[in-house]
Structure 1
Amino acid sequence: MDQEKREAICPICARENACNVQGDCWCFHDIVPDSLLALLAAHHIDRRCVCRSCIDCFKSDPEHFKQTYFTR
């Protein structure tokens, strides 16, 4: 998978993140909680956008979100 396609994938759920970094993207206007960013591997920070669905799910129930995506 090339770099551009990887950047279009959410690093958490692996679905499309709908980011348009070349234009006026939704991610420039939404607030991603620092506590959600802290869960990401360092190599994803500022390189791949978390999708809106993951952000909303985290905001509504952070503990359930962590159990779903970060507990193995």
Structure 2
Amino acid sequence: MSDQQDSTPGKMLNALICPLCGERNACAYAEGKPHSECWCGHVSFPEGVFERIPAEKRGKSCICQQCLENYVREHEQLFCYNQLLFAKSDIKSRLLTRIEK
């Protein structure tokens, strides 16, 4: 990857900067190393993580590992919360069914 023009006049997108947080993304490929040496080749990216990147910055630089971890942590918490709500709803439904009988 190389520096690419941002949609904002006079600004360059640096391929070594995370488009979400603005910190270094530690992209080995953007540093000229083989893609196999990059941290991103050893992790999974959940569906939806790239939707956080503004459209004009997508595909121009990689997100950093911290932003990936933050996304995963937030969505795990949301998943657990939704599971809890579902369980509470299921228990309530079972109790109401017993009461109606």
TM-score, with structure 2 as normaliser = 0.52
Instruction: Specify every segment of 5 or more residues in structure 1 that has no aligned partner in the other structure, as ranges.
Output: 63-72
- Per the TM alignment, residue 35 of structure 1 is displaced from its structure 2 partner at its CA by 1.0
Paired residues of 2:20 and 2:67 also in contact (CA < 8 A): yes
Match of 1:29 in 2: 42
- CA RMSD across the alignment: 2.4
Would you say how many aligned residue pairs link Structure 1 and Structure 2?
Answer: 62
Structure 2 residue runs of 5 or longer lacking an equivalent are 5-12, 76-101
State the percentage of identical aligned residues: 26
TM-score w.r.t. structure 1 length? 0.69
Amino acid corresponding to residue 58 of structure 1 in structure 2: Y
Contact 2:17–2:24, Cα closer than 8 Å, also in 1: yes
Deviation at 1:43, TM superposition (A): 3.2
Inter-CA distance 43–30: structure 2 relative to 1 (3 Å threshold): farther
Task: Look at both structures and tell me which one has the larger radius of gyration over its CA atoms.
Answer: 2
